[in-house]
Structure 1
């Protein structure tokens, strides 16, 4: 990703804000700017996270099946912003270990997580991305972003991680 030429503004950790047992979510985190009117009416009531089958995307000899899956992926990305990926070839034990190691990271005290704080010039690290103004609406989430592959794109912060998370 290299250098990000943006004015970086530091914001508090959402996890730390949540520990304060707030009565209301700070207005900076309340998103009223989302327009859901473009979602097809029959999909508005669907509360299921979109599920994308990787095998249908990459190994299907049937173009109709592949196109159907591509359309589902397009819809998920455009209207949900995320999806569940199945049949990706990563063993469930590896996925569970990654979830466990990630939870261990988020369970660290804030002072420890700040050792991995992202710099204003790079996306990698702990903290919000693309915060450019004090009025900007933010996601109610803390982020820990790392590029892991290819290895030459890894930032120095990667080597500072405890071995089991690397």
Structure 2
């Protein structure tokens, strides 16, 4: 398959926050100071609606499928999102992703800069969607890249990550794709979509 370059946006280069905090700052740099906003007040009383929780094992069970499908349908129609439980994604694997991501951000700058964003691209280590020199910035650095489909991975990013980190992310990405494929297939059937449509698209994830 021929690899086609894709762009997920552009961004201007800005200082790394992890480098800024090493300096003896007496105040937050002006570009990171955001106007005071009225905080969003969220009621937590007993009448507040709860985020829908969908049990994947019940969705796959003949005994509970109908009830769980109704909950899934309602969540999609009324909320647009839901929390998925019992999805068989290993908590140990999720913990490894978190730990190894933290370890990546502790690497020396000369190591992390190997994965820096290239001009006109948001993928890599840095910030995102900085479009002007006076734009307010978020007090963070981030590592962002495409993992799937594999042929769209940038050669200087994912393939060159430390082996252990890359293998963990590979397993995590594969797990997420499998879970997403199952949920999309169930949603498709619930919408009475033609099997050929979502089966074909599963192969293109």
Aligned-residue Cα RMSD (Å) equals 3.3
TM-score by length of 2: 0.58
Provide Cα deviations, 1:87-120, integer angstroms capped at 9, x if missing partner: 4431111011111211111001111111100112
1:69 Cα offset (Å): 4.3
1:28-70 deviations in Å (ceiling 9; x for gaps): 1223275656x6x526x9xxxx9764537x9364466336644
Q: 1:111 to 1:149 in 2, by over 3 A?
A: same
CA-CA distance at 1:26 after TM superposition: 1.7
Match of 1:81 in 2: none
1:150 is the counterpart of 2:156: no
Alignment match, 2:162 = 162
- Structure 2 unaligned blocks of 5 or more: 60-64, 167-205
Please name the residue that 1:107 is paired with: 106
Decide which moves more: 88-97 or 127-136.
Answer: 88-97
Q: Structure 2: how far apart are the matches of 1:109 and 1:10? A: 19
1:2 aligns with 2:2: no
Matched residues in 2 for 1:24 and 1:51: separation? 39
TM normalised by structure 1 equals 0.70
Is the Cα–Cα contact under 8 Å of residues 124 and 145 in structure 1 kept in the other structure? Answer: yes
DSSP 3-state at the match of 2:43: helix
Residue 31, structure 1, aligned to residue 34, structure 2: yes
Structure 1 residue 147 displacement after superposition: 1.3
Specify every segment of 5 or more residues in structure 1 that has no aligned partner in the other structure, as ranges. Answer: 77-83
SS in 2 for 1:42: coil
Query: How many residue pairs end up in the alignment?
Result: 149
| Larger Rg computed on CA atoms | 2
Any idea what SS the aligned residue of 2:21 has? helix
